[in-house]
Amino acid sequence: MPSTADHGGRSLVLALLVLLSGCAGLPAEPSVDAALFDSSSGVALGVGSDPVPTASPAVPNSEVEPADNPWGHTPIVVGVDGLDDGRDYASLVESAVTYWHENATETAYDPAFVVRPNASNPDVRVTVVEEITSCGGYHGRDAVGCAPILNSSSSENTTPVLVSAGYDDETTRTVITHEFGHLLGLTHDDAERYDVMGPRIETTPLPVPNATTRDYPYHDTTLTVYVDLSNVSAAERDAYEAEIDHALSYYESGAAGFSPEGLTLTRVSDPSRAQVVISVAPFEDGYSGARWRRTGESTDGDDAFEWYTGGDIIVDAGMGPTLVDWYVGSALGYLLAADDRSELPPPFRDSDLRDDPQWRGVTNESAW
């Protein structure tokens, strides 16, 4: 049973719905199934684009008497903030509202909800977010829904309902229906009367796109970079720094349309804070040039990354600083997005280093 706390004379509990199965690596039995609402920290709402409005029940033009509900009026207007992913979240909210219109017999008040997706100041706002990481005092990754448990003595100007994205329509509809049950004063203990109010839910995740299919396969356009020149002599370090900075600045300036808008490659002094590590080390196998390795996230159980998180670039110390910018630039293109040499920015699409004078080094070395 969720606990309660008094916040300025209002009794308000925040309940969360957790998944029973679906996302690999998440615990099937979370340690809590309801969380106390912390009014000092609140719940961060995601912001998405407004979906196309769908038909809502007609609203009488005449004034109505204040209803016995937390807002003191009817209808209770529901807004929808969906993600810009082509899905019609408003229709899923409509389905949830219809369920309670037809089945609410033992709720705290009459479910006089009306869905107006683009309402600027709704009584309830359903927000679809990429991930719910907190719900009141709960912090974790296994929540798929979060909403306050309301009754006639508790209210907010706009009451938030959070719904996690990434699940099929049936799962999402069930989550929204569950959360509206909380708005009607129901708790997880009411699952015997309403099956939809159980604290856990079987989920069907949507297929997760692999990183190779994304235009930009990182979560953020700011990447941290650490440069390790511990194997370089003091006399040559400035030359290596200039070469590496040339490659980094090329990508920050757009790389002939290859880089995403706003890409920032920030140098850091602590390798543990770096997403990309560039180092210089001797190759012991007779080869030269540069080598690279990606790091990433795989969340759907296959061997492919869904997102890249960074990687490593190693430049052969045996070739000296000449053309380090070209080799780092080529390897960085692969770390960022390219899967084939033909997908790299123009200077790196072939191995003839004499084609482009600006990549013959920036410290007056000769390419050959």
* pLDDT over threshold 70, residue 267: yes
Residue 18 forms beta bridges with which residues?
143, 200
pLDDT tens by residue, 274-290: 999 999 999 988 888 89
Give the chain's mean pLDDT. Answer: 79
Type of residue found at 329: G
* pLDDT over threshold 60, residue 6: no
* pLDDT over threshold 70, residue 38: no
Residue 363: the pLDDT is: 52
Domain 209-341, second-level architecture: 3-Layer(aba) Sandwich (3.40)
* 74-195: CATH superfamily: Collagenase (Catalytic Domain) (3.40.390.10)
Query: In the Cβ-directed half-sphere of 280, how many Cα atoms lie within 13 Å?
Result: 25
pLDDT tens by residue, 65-108: 434 688 888 999 999 999 988 899 999 999 999 999 999 988 88
Q: Return the higher-pLDDT residue of 80 and 49.
A: 80
Residue 70: the pLDDT is: 86
Residue 333: the pLDDT is: 96
Residue 155: the pLDDT is: 58
pLDDT tens by residue, 165-204: 989 999 999 999 999 999 999 998 999 999 999 888 888 8
Lowest mean pLDDT among 38-47, 60-69, 193-202: 38-47
Assign 63 a pLDDT band (cuts: 50, 70, 90).
very low
Residue 35: the pLDDT is: 25
Domain with CATH 3.40.390.10 in the chain: 74-195
Assign 126 a pLDDT band (cuts: 50, 70, 90).
very high
